Structure 1
Amino acid sequence: MYAALNTLARERDADGPLVTGPGHGTPANHANLWLEGTHEEYDPAHVRTGAGLRT
């Protein structure tokens, strides 16, 4: 779902919040944000290295 919405937002140059609930949704979104490098833009501690992954 995240990948599909992200693709749609990029195609339409749209901005909006990503709202997820507790449970498995939030960790999955954090993993996607880390993999694509977005996490590191907002929090330098989450660089795409082993140290950033552990953070």
Structure 2
Amino acid sequence: MTQSMISFVVGFAVLLVVAFMLMQRYMRDHKSEGMAQWLDAHHMRWMHRKH
């Protein structure tokens, strides 16, 4: 492996770990919310806008 490829793999692994930790923290703080409700509230809002 070249040094740049190793850096890419390590960087990607770090991003995955950080994303996992943030997800765990969010799920712990919002136990009562289901995933569908969370997606609707936070990510699907653009679908309900009037154009």
Range of TM-score over shorter length: under 0.3
TM-score (norm 2): 0.26
TM-score (norm 1): 0.25
Which of the two has higher C-alpha Rg?
2
Relative to total residues, which structure has the larger helix share, 1 or 2?
A: 2
The structure showing larger relative contact order (alpha-carbon pairs under 8 Å, at least 6 residues apart) is: 1
